[in-house]
Every structure is written in C-alpha cells, then in structure tokens.
Structure 1
Amino acid sequence: MNKFILGSKVGLVLLCAAVMSACSANAATQNTAGSAAATAVTAAQGSTAANVQLAAVKLTDLVTFDEEDSVTAWTAADATDITLAGTGATVDGAGAVAKDGSVTITEAGTYVLSGTLSNGQIIVDEQAEGTVRLVLNGAQLTDSDSSPIYIKEAGKVVITLQEGTENSVTDGAKYVFADGAADEPSAAVFSKADLTINGTGKLTVTGNSNDGISSKDDLKIMSGTIEVKAADDGIVGKDLIAVQDGNITINAEGDGLKSTNDEDADKGFIAIAAGTFDITAGNDGIQAETAAVIDGGTYTIVTGGGSANAPVKTGDQGGMGMGGGGGFGQRPGADTTSDQAAAGGTPPAMDAAGTADQAAATASTDATATTETESASAKALKAGGDITVSGGTFTIDSEDDAVHSNSNVSITDGQFEIAAGDDGIHANSLTALSGGTINITKSYEGVEGGNISISGGEIHVVATDDGVNVSGGNDNNAAAGGTQAGDQFTSTGDHMLTISGGYLTVDAAGDGLDSNGSVTMTGGTAIVNGPENSGNGALDYDGTFNMTGGYLVAAGASGMAQAPGEESTQYSVGLSFTETQQAGTMVHLEDADGNQVLTFTPSKSFQTVVITSPDLKEGSYTAYTGGSSTGTAKDGLYTGGDYIGGTPFVTFDISSSVTWVNESGITTAPSSMGGPGGGGGGFGGGRGNRTQGAGGGTPPADAGTTKPADAGTTKPADAGTTKPADAGTTNPADAGTSTK
C-alpha cells in the first residue's frame, strides 16, 4: 500500500487538531456528512504517546425521522381501496385510476392494496409534493417487463406493511422502456422520491432484472420483515439509508445494502440504529459512499462466497537474506538492486526484457492502486468515509476485508466474529478500537491502518501475514489470475501504533505487531505469538518503541527480533534461545524474591520471548523453561498459582531499559534488530528490505534462509480457531509467587 487514496467524499467531519504528518497530509481530501458528526484526532510523534479521540457519532446525529415515517394506522373511511385481480384492479375512492393493468395514483393520501396483480404496475405520479401512503394489505404484485411499484413523483412515499400480512413484489428479467435511451425504473420497487417502509407485516421483493428496492432520494426503514433477492444490488438509497429497526434478509448478486451519492458530501451515508440483518452478497455487504454509522443490531454477512473463496495472496512475507556481507533480502516487489547495494552485494545481471517486464508490472500496480473497482470488492462493511460502530453483533465471512474505510474506523462497542479473505479491519487513515469484543479468526492481515489506536476492548487476531499493521496507503487487492498482490506499504516513519488499554492477542505468520513508523504503549495487555520463520518478527517497527506502561509478551523467531527502545521508562527483557523451542514450552520469569513476573506458554514454536511489565525493576531475575503452573491460563498467560518443576535457563541483573539474555547471561539482540539501544548493531531500511547495518551485529544462523515457500498462501483450514472460552481480561500484576 504505497499511497493514501482517501475517497473524495469522506463520511464524517475529520478535525485534525494536532495530527501526525500522515493525517495532515490527507486533511484536504476529507469532507463532511452531517453537521453533528465530528471526529477529533490528536497525535504526537516519536516517544510521545498518540492521544486519539473519535467522537461518538450516532444515527440521531445524522438522521431525523418525522411523524409520517412512524405512522402505520389507517381507517377505511379515510383511505382509497385498491383491489387487485389478475391483470386488472378496482379502485374504490379518489386519487387513483386503474387502466390497462396499471393503477396510477395522482393525489396525496392513503391507498390500501390487496389481492394479486399478475402482470401490472402501481405508479405513483403525485405532482404536488405531498405524501402518498401505500398500505400493502396482503398484496402480490408482478410485472413482467417493468417495476411493479414505480414511484415517478411525490414529496414522500410511505409503504406500510400491514400487521399479519405477507406481501410480494416481483419483476421480470428484462425491462421494456417506452424510450430506448431510458434506464429507469431499475428495481422491483423503484422510487424517485423519498421512500419510507414501516409496519409489522412481511414484504418479499424479487428483483430479477437489476436491484430489489431502490430510492433515488432518501430510503428509511422503520420496521417490518423484508426479504430481498436481487440480480444486482439488494437495497439502494442514493442520498441515504437509515434503518431504525426491522428484520432484513438480502441475497444479492451485487451489493447488499448500498448508498450511492458521490456528489454531495452530506449525503451518501448509511446509518443503522437496530435491526436484524442477514446479508449474502456477491460484492460488498453494506456499502456507504460516504459514512457508515452503526449503533446496534445483529448482522450476519457473507460476501463473495466467503473467506474460503479469497484469491491466494502473495507478497509482504519476504524472507531475510544475509551473510558474508554480500547477502540481501527483500519482500516481493522490492527494489532488488538498491537492496543489494545497501548490503554491499552485487546485483544479478538483468537483461532489458526483464527490466521492461518489471517496469510494466510496477506501472500496472500503480495504476490499479489508484482505484478500486466494484467488481473486485467483496467487503462486508465498507465506507468511502468514516465507519463508526458503537454497538451490535457481527458475524462476518468475507472474501475481501471484513471492515474497510477509505478514511477512519472507530469501534467503541459491539461483538465481532470475523473470517476475512483479506484484512479483518482496515482504515486508510486511523483505526481506533476502544471497546467491544473483536475476534478475527481468519485474515491475511488482522488490524490495519495508517495509524492504529487501541485503548480498550478485547481483540483477538489470527493472520497469515501481519497481525496488527500500521502504515500508509490504500490497500489494493484486485484479483488477477486468481492471485492477489500483497499490501504494499511505504516505510515513511510517520505512522504510529498506540496501545493505551484493552486486551490484545495476536497469532501471526508474518509480523505480530508491525509499525512502519513508531510504537507507543502506555497501558493494556498485548500477547503476541509471532512468526516461526526468521523473515518476520513478533515485534517490527522502523522508528521508535516507547514503552511506559502495560503488559507485553511477544514470542517468535529470532531473525528479526526486536524489543522496545531504550527511551522507554518501563523495563523490557528479551530471552534468546540457541535452539528453537517447541510450542507449548512454558517460560517463567521471577525476581530474586521468587515473585512471579511472567508465566507464559507460547502456542507456536519460538526462539525469542520479549517481556515488558510494570513489575520489572532494577535487580536480579531468573528465567526458567518447562515445568507447569497451577495458575489460571488465558491465551497462554498464567495468573496466580505456583510454578513447579521448571529448568533454570539464566539468572541476570536488569540495569537498563532493555536487557537481552541467553543461557550465558546478558547478550545483544539475536538479530541485531533489537530496537534502538536494544543491543548490537542495527539494520538499515524499512520492513521487508532490511540490510545489515554498520553496527556489526551478528546474524542468526538461519538468517540467510528465506521464508517457507508456502508463506504467502492462505491460512490452513483450521487456522481460524476461536479464542478460549474463558477469555476475559487478565493482568499479570496479580500473579502469585512461585515455588520450584
């Protein structure tokens, strides 16, 4: 992801008060949708923790429901009765005329429809800008060559689903237009006026030609049971879609629920207060042209056939090559020549044809990165502007990203079960997670953003590449030949991962916590089971890592191991093992008085473990391996109880912010990537194209090896296992004393 490509119509107000350069660079492209909605972002670079605040935007900040939207009652004396019978209809009352199989309504008022229209149309053509109420009272409407309900003109139309009734609207596969140049109507229920659906009855809509329900203005759903099957999009509201409640099922070949206005930044949004949604879509599940605001509801969303249908992704997990001063390493797509030059090696010969091919491929990638075609998008929840979720229960199985914003994502509450073929949660600008429970059981990259702030909630991530990834740019993943290009990020150093609270676990085949910039951690708990190959690291950052509070344990391979930097005020310990330790090998750290600092069982094989805790002070410590604990385990981390039967690994003293140890005592970082001051020499360059720096650190024995050939493939079928049933927040600070 080389560039920010923020949608020109961003959902909510983005107010950059004192922002990172990554945010300020984009401020000019961000517009408004809803004067009451505001996002405030403040952040500071380097060793100062980013302070990020996103406004708690609600549906009521964006949408007003008037009395007409809610009224469902009617009386026969005040209504015109329309009785449908085959290809004709009988009208009893004023304001409507039946002719040639169609009923045309020309006056404001209430019209009650019942019976069956086998091949005809209800046309609303009210020129006085009044309100027309259509009460579907057991009505079955079919038109073989146009929209059965066609609203040409009105101030507003309200469709009321009468209590206890079942109603249906079905169109034909091909429309016949009076004007050959016309393309409207284009849905089984089609409105050129504001449209509201209310009531407690049921409506089944089958759009055989194109869309199911479509409004060229506002579309509001107040209540009712609505089932839509569509050849293209399910439910479309150009200016907005607002759902107060209802039971909505959509099966669409295109997008499920969609707003489309890309000409007015105050429109084109989707706002949902509550309801039950079951959406199966060939493309995006819920797509807002500008903003998406969700206060609550229950959602089951499957897009593009689900995560199992995702193309195989390549890139971003490139191995690291070193050794002999002439080795080099880069991830796929990196500049091989420059990497070799930095490492002091000689680039291989490249013929003109190869160079031309590479240039063409690069140009193609750059071109496709500037746009995201609808045909390639199968995201579950997607917005061109901000996505704000303050509640709801989501079960998502997406072929593409599960949650995707071209601007910012804010999740303050809710429950998410996510299986994604690409990113679990992605924002081009800021991803802010401050509450709720997020369980990403399958993803290519778990949580991604130009900047990421985690301040609360419980988050579990399983990723075949990076678990938490901070960088800049649009994520281009258009399928080509059944393979997706990996996310291509620029390592600019001006992006930030901030962890100030919450509970986070990561199981990543690539980097665990990855910042193409800096990291600051002031609170919370983070548990990382990182890569088993030395081409990635459990921790990976290009700038600084300022650790001032919270609990972090990160286990993984040694090839690119890093620890927090020496500017940190909280102490960190890195354990380095000569041999790879098997998954399930317990690691225990205690102070000189036998007080437990950490007891942890990594779920994958590992060669390094980085520990940082407020319990670490200057003084003597002993690390053990093996053994068992009588404490309570959650995600491999034990609290309370006694540690028994372990083997002493090393005893050492802490006297500086970062201490690396092996079985012989204090040492340097095993990969010379231990972070600033983390021991040994350093590597120059960004993630994926690091070369051995002048610091002269000694590479690990396997440093010259590349990542396994299958590293870019999708996650094995069993990789999306759920978190343990006892998941809840833990705090290593209350760990009990140990005995051996």
Structure 2
Amino acid sequence: MRFRSGKLITLLITMFIISMLSGCKTSSSAALSTGTTTADAMAIIDPGYSDRDLAGTWDAETATKISLNGSSVAVSGSGATASGGTLTITAAGVYVLSGTLADGQIIVDAADSDKVQIVLNDVSITCSDSAPIYVKQADKVFLTLADDTNNTITDGAAYTLADGEDEPNAAIFSKDDLIINGTGALIVTAKYNNGIASKDDLVITGGTIKVTAFNDGLRGRDSVAIYDGAFVINAGQGDGIQSNNDEDADKGWVSIDGGTFDIAAGNDGIQAATVLQITNGTATIKTGGGSANASTDNKGNMRPGWGKWDNQTTSTATEDSTDSSDSTDSAKGIKAGTAIYVTGGKMNIDSSDDSIHSNGDFIMSAGILNISSGDDGIHADSNLVVDGGTIDISQSYEGLEGTTITVSGGKIHVTAKDDGFNAAGGSDGSALGRRPGENHFTEENSTDGSDSTFIRITDGYVVVNASGDGIDSNGSLYMDGGMVLVNGPTNNGNGPLDYNGVAEITGGTLVAAGSSGMTQNFSNSSSQNALLVAYSSVQKAGTLVSLMDESGKTILTFAPAKDYQSIVISTPELEQGKTYTLYSGGSASGNNTDGLYTDGNYTAGTKVVSVTLSGAATSISDTGVQISKMGGPGRMGGPGAPGGEPGMGGPKGERMPVDKQKDLEN
C-alpha cells in the first residue's frame, strides 16, 4: 500500500486538530481524546498509476497482429498461436486484435513475469461457455481500447468448467493484474456472472465502458483503482464495483480518482472490504430499487421483506469462498469494511439501504454528496468526521450516525424520519423501531455519558429537519463554533436537542425548534449563554421567532419549517445580566437562508416573553416561569408535555414504548 504525501498530511493535521479539540476542555470533555481515530487509520492510499497504465499507446510496427474471422483466428507475428476459434498468447508483447469472433476465446497463458498488452481495435468477441477473454497467467495484462473504436465482449448464461473449478467467473477474467486504458469504447454483456474481474488488482485509466452483468459489474479482489473513464454499470444481482479481499489489511480497497459513473445495482453500488476512497469523479448510484424501497413506509411501518437481498436469485456460478467479502448482502450506495474517505468528487446516491456505510470511520474533507436513502444517510460504526465539502441528505431514516460525530467544516443539510444526527444510535428510538438491518453499536459506546460517545461541532453550516431527535447524542454534545439550524420533531416523544451526558456550547450560533415534551437546553457548564423558551401552545410552521436585546437590536430571526412548541437559541451576543425579548410573528426583510434571516430588518409581531439571563442556560415558559429539570440531565417538562408526564419521565435509556410514541404522533 502506498500513500499520497500531500493528502496524508492534510488528514493527519485534521485528525490532530480533532484530537486536540477533544482534549482541550476542563470539564467532562477532557477524556474525549480516547474517542478519536488514530492517524494510521486515516492514511490515503496511493494507487500508484504508472506511465504505461495511463498512456494507452503501442508500437504498431512491432506488434503482433491478430485477425478474428468469425470462427477462426489468424496470427501475424510471434508470441501467440491459434487453434480454431481460440487464440492463446504465451509471451510478453503487444497484440492488436481486430474483427469478429462468433464463438471463441482469447487466452493469456504467459510467464508470471511477462507483461502483455492486448489492443482491442474494433472487435466483437462472443464465447458461449466461458470467458471471452481469460488471463490464466501473466505479470499483468494491459487491455487497451484503441481510439475511435467500439468493442463488444459477450458471454453465455452457463460456463463449462473443469471438475472442482469455479472460474473463470467473468466475461473478462484475469487471475493477475488487469489494466484497462485507452479512449475507445468497450461494451461487456455478462450473462453468467461478473462483468470484468481480476483476482489481483483491477486498474482502469480511460475509455467509455458499459457493463451489464448478472452479478457484479467490476471486481478486483485485491483492489480497484479508477483514474478516468465514462462508465455505465448495471449489476443486476450484485455490486456495481467491488474489491473483496478481507484477509489482508493492505488489500481489498477501492480508489475512485476520476471518471463519470452511472451505476444501478441490486446490491451495493461500490463496496470495499477495507478502505474506500473518493478523491475525484462524478457518480450517480442507485441500489436496491432506490430510496423508494425504504426500510419503512410513509407511516413508519416496516416494509415486509426489506433488507432480505440474500433471498434474490443467485448466480449459477459457485463463488469461491475467498472471493466473498461479506456473507450478508445489502443494498448500500457506498460501503467499506474499515474506512471511507471523501476528499473530492460528486456522488449522487439513491439507495434502499444506507447510502454511505463504513464499518469503521467515515471522513470527508471536500466533495459533494447528494443522498436519498431508505435507511441511514451516512453511517459509521466508529468516527464520523466532516471537515469540508457539501452533504445534502434529502431523505433518510437517520441522517448522520456514528459512535462519534465531529463537524469541523463544510455544509450539511439533513432530512430524517428519525434522528438527524445520532451518536451511538444503538440505544435510541431506531433500535426500538426494530427496522430490518438496523445498526447496533457496542454496549460501551451507548452507555449514558460515555466519553467515547459524543457529537462535536466546531465549524461549518448544519441544517437539520428531523421527525425524531434533531441532534441526538447518547453521550455528550459539544458546540464550539459554526451555524446550526434545527427543525426538530412535532411529537413530544423526541426533542430538537437530546443528550445523555453534558451539552456544552462555547461558540457559534444555534437555533433549535421543535416539540416541548423532551426538549433540552445546554448545560450550565457552557461558556456561551443559551435560552430555551417552551410555549403553552403549538406554533404554526413558518411563524417567525425573533429575539431582541434591551436596545431593540435583533439578535436572531428564524422561521421554523415545521410546527413547534419550544425554541433554543444560543449566539455569542447573549450576555448574562442583560434582558432579551422574544417575539412571535411579524415580518422580516433581508436574506432568508434555510429560515434564518440576515442583513435585513425585523418588524415586531406579538411579544412572547422578556427574560434576564442569570446563568449559562436559561429555560423558561412563555409566561416567564423558570422550567426545572425533568426526565434526565437538562431535559425540560415544559408546557404541553402529554399526559401530565413532564419530560416523558425517566432517563433517556427508558424512553416510552414505541406504541405510545406512535399514539402521540397520531
């Protein structure tokens, strides 16, 4: 495994900053350094594209010329022999193929130190009972698509294999490294199993490539590296792109470094057994029928059969056990076993299952992610870090979910049926919902107040629209900067902010609107002041909330996107000992971005309440009565709590049963 020094340094600096931020507080956050990712796990892989990988050129004068003539093959030059419709290449060299082979095969069986270049120069190759192109042995094979050519490779629905053998299992199959380059077009129709597969590394640096496969589209067991090209991949019963070596930590990775992709997959769009990195390129990915085939219907009911992709018809080929990285099928957009890094590019993902799923870390420093998910938008079993880029999750069950979530830059919009942000979600309402394929975190990560579980926002722009908790940490919540706008739940079984440990704010601007039954304010240990107001009655969506200081200056004006009965406001302008007045309704001019008005004037509507801040966290009703803690740390009972049970009673780990939550929602 090789590393890109520039990007490695960038990520090391990012994680050093995160580690320092996690340890710089004097309160309970001092131990948070134990919850960060190690630098070793953050290393960006260098695919090591060689000049020959990228060139796609050859010397026509010295090349061996191969003519495909229907049912026979003619060879002009050395290094290859023909027998009927079978061409066998046995030596290093360049072989230029042209013509049509109606039912035959190209075999490479050279020395394991030989480099073989096969140039496809307007060829059509069909093999009814095996792989049309089969690399049995070589050091590496370059498959070059000649300029301005169209090349088609087609196999049959059943292969004739030797006793005890399960390969070849792809229309273009190589036991050794396979490099595809050039600028021509390649159309692969794989009726039997996979489209293009290498048992070692698969590298693609150019071409216009269309793959229609019964199972996986592109597969490199040890790695897949794509530098450029235009791809249309239809993987009916498998993954669009897959690397599945989970036996070696230095292998099983996928690197998308350029190109355009249109991927439709029955299972995962792009899957890596270890690291999956996206540094450039543009992709449109649809998996498992898309988000329309979500885990739950529009009433929150579990869809029968959702998540049972292993019940699909399987290939007639028997997959070698070493070629299967995951015994459980899924329909995730992007999936990796150890880490996902996004440092550039643009991904448009419409997935039935999680759109992005890492069994380790997810870290994004740049790029664009447009997500519509039938389950989680972005899920990481360990650390989820957004340091830059743009994330737009238009549909999800939960938006961002990880053991820890750190936002230190970028722009994030989340729409979620349940929680918008969720740290250590194994103990929250999503677990109670028992949706199929749900993600369970380890017990130690879901313990109340765990130092290894937190949400930390240090910078960036975050907008959340959630039917469950807006921002939910099963540990603690920290905000040190940035802008956060939360349109939280309308039911009293959830809250705009929800946490188990402490919630400390030291900087930035936050406004969080939603229901009042489970609402929480920040902790009194915060160094920046916060105000929570709970209303006696529900305020209609779009009704302006404006906070003014005692001189009449507007501190903040916000129009919540949904009905609300509580509001939490914190900005650096709030000062203890000063009096502030909250208004409802009225009108505002200036720029309206996600409901927040800036660079304009507010015309006062109805005065709600005036309050003098006496502590870091002030919580009152709209009558001015201070609200005491109820139902857990920082949680408010507030007006409008259903059934005379302020705060819904008890600590977060003892939330009301699902049927009671549904009654409240109805």
DSSP-derived class of the 1:297 partner:
strand
* 2:305 aligned partner: none
* 2:294 aligned partner: 310
Higher relative contact order (CA 8 A, sep 6+): 1
Instruction: Provide the identity percentage.
Output: 47
Matches within 5 A, 1:355-374: none
How far residue 449 of structure 1 moved from its aligned partner, in angstroms, is 0.3
- Tell whether the 8 Å contact from 1:503 to 1:525 is kept in structure 2 after alignment: yes
CA spacing shift, 1:607–1:443, aligned 2, 3 Å = same
- Distance in 1 of aligned mates of 2:373 and 2:658: 32
- Tell whether the 8 Å contact from 2:472 to 2:498 is kept in structure 1 after alignment: yes
- Distance in 2 of aligned mates of 1:287 and 1:476: 28
- Distance in 2 of aligned mates of 1:100 and 1:223: 32
- Tell whether the 8 Å contact from 1:652 to 1:666 is kept in structure 2 after alignment: no
- Tell whether the 8 Å contact from 2:118 to 2:143 is kept in structure 1 after alignment: yes
- Distance in 2 of aligned mates of 1:67 and 1:297: 20
CA spacing shift, 1:314–1:473, aligned 2, 3 Å = farther
Residue among 141, 150, 167 paired with 1:166:
150
Moved more, 678-687 or 451-460: 678-687
- Tell whether the 8 Å contact from 1:561 to 1:674 is kept in structure 2 after alignment: no
Matched, 1:249 2:201: no
CA spacing shift, 1:711–1:666, aligned 2, 3 Å = closer
* 1:186 aligned partner: 169
Unaligned runs of 5+ in 1: 1-10, 14-33, 318-370, 692-702, 713-740
- Distance in 1 of aligned mates of 2:279 and 2:524: 42
CA spacing shift, 1:243–1:57, aligned 2, 3 Å = farther
Residue among 200, 203, 206 paired with 1:220:
203
How far residue 704 of structure 1 moved from its aligned partner, in angstroms, is 13
- Distance in 2 of aligned mates of 1:524 and 1:258: 37
* 1:424 aligned partner: 377
Residue among 289, 296, 312 paired with 2:273:
289
Give the aligned residue type for 1:184: E
DSSP-derived class of the 1:708 partner:
helix
- Tell whether the 8 Å contact from 1:88 to 1:100 is kept in structure 2 after alignment: yes
* 1:380 aligned partner: 333
Matched, 1:203 2:163: no
- Number of equivalent positions: 616
- Tell whether the 8 Å contact from 1:563 to 1:678 is kept in structure 2 after alignment: no
* 2:642 aligned partner: none
CA spacing shift, 1:54–1:637, aligned 2, 3 Å = farther
For residues 375-409 of structure 1, the C-alpha deviation after alignment (integer angstroms, 9 at most, x for no partner) is 54101111001110001111110011111100000
How far residue 410 of structure 1 moved from its aligned partner, in angstroms, is 0.5
Residue among 534, 542, 558 paired with 2:516:
558
Unaligned runs of 5+ in 2: 302-323, 640-645
Matched, 1:397 2:350: yes
- Distance in 2 of aligned mates of 1:295 and 1:566: 42
Matched, 1:661 2:620: yes
CA spacing shift, 1:35–1:578, aligned 2, 3 Å = closer
Matched, 1:515 2:473: yes
CA spacing shift, 1:372–1:264, aligned 2, 3 Å = closer
DSSP-derived class of the 2:292 partner:
helix
* 2:244 aligned partner: 260
CA spacing shift, 1:538–1:60, aligned 2, 3 Å = closer
- Distance in 1 of aligned mates of 2:111 and 2:348: 44
CA spacing shift, 1:222–1:622, aligned 2, 3 Å = same
* 2:662 aligned partner: 708
Moved more, 75-84 or 453-462: 75-84
CA spacing shift, 1:273–1:620, aligned 2, 3 Å = same
How far residue 563 of structure 1 moved from its aligned partner, in angstroms, is 0.6
Moved more, 536-545 or 63-72: 63-72
- Tell whether the 8 Å contact from 1:539 to 1:563 is kept in structure 2 after alignment: yes
How far residue 36 of structure 1 moved from its aligned partner, in angstroms, is 12
DSSP-derived class of the 1:401 partner:
coil
* 1:724 aligned partner: none
TM-score between both structures, scaled by the size of structure 2 = 0.86
CA spacing shift, 1:530–1:372, aligned 2, 3 Å = farther
How far residue 645 of structure 1 moved from its aligned partner, in angstroms, is 3.9
- Tell whether the 8 Å contact from 1:561 to 1:673 is kept in structure 2 after alignment: no
Give the aligned residue type for 1:687: K
Residue among 88, 91, 95 paired with 1:111:
95
Give the aligned residue type for 1:231: F
- Tell whether the 8 Å contact from 1:476 to 1:485 is kept in structure 2 after alignment: no
DSSP-derived class of the 2:543 partner:
coil
DSSP-derived class of the 1:78 partner:
coil
Give the aligned residue type for 1:634: T
Residue among 592, 596, 601 paired with 1:633:
592
* 1:689 aligned partner: 654
How far residue 634 of structure 1 moved from its aligned partner, in angstroms, is 0.9
CA spacing shift, 1:155–1:704, aligned 2, 3 Å = closer
* 2:215 aligned partner: 232
TM-score between both structures, scaled by the size of structure 1 = 0.78
Give the aligned residue type for 2:654: N
- Distance in 1 of aligned mates of 2:348 and 2:507: 33
CA spacing shift, 1:605–1:374, aligned 2, 3 Å = farther
For residues 102-158 of structure 1, the C-alpha deviation after alignment (integer angstroms, 9 at most, x for no partner) is 000001000000000010000000025210000000011100000000000001100
- Distance in 1 of aligned mates of 2:459 and 2:556: 19
Matched, 1:140 2:94: no
- Distance in 1 of aligned mates of 2:580 and 2:563: 24
How far residue 73 of structure 1 moved from its aligned partner, in angstroms, is 2.2
Matches within 5 A, 1:24-39: none
Matches within 5 A, 1:334-373: none
